[in-house]
Structure 1
């Protein structure tokens, strides 16, 4: 009975480590994707706080 309990504890520990490593890999992938550099400075966000020039209706006085 003790051997079976020990085997269950070891198996649970292995599964826990595998799941933890998989989650860490997924989190790392998401982090790299969200922090990836873009070809535009600041990801096309204006540095002076105004909307970018290509926004709908920007620069048109009707």
Structure 2
């Protein structure tokens, strides 16, 4: 009985480590994708994270 319990504990520990490593790899992949350089500077997004304002035709006429 003790051998079976020890075997179950070892199997549980191995599964835990494998699951943890997969989660860490997924997080690293997401971080790498989020911080990858883009073709355009700032990827057409302003530095504060909002979309850049588009100039309307009335703005162009006023300038």
TM-score, normalising length: structure 1: 0.74
Specify every segment of 5 or more residues in structure 1 that has no aligned partner in the other structure, as ranges.
Answer: none
Secondary structure of the structure 1 residue equivalent to 2:57: coil
- The CA deviation string for residues 1-49 of structure 1, in whole angstroms up to 9 with x for no partner, is 11011000000000000000111111111111111111111222346xx
- Is the helix fraction higher in 1 or 2? 2
Q: 2:57 corresponds to which residue?
A: 60
RMSD across aligned positions (CA): 2.5
4+ residue segments displaced more than 6 Å: none
How many residue pairs get aligned? The number is: 57
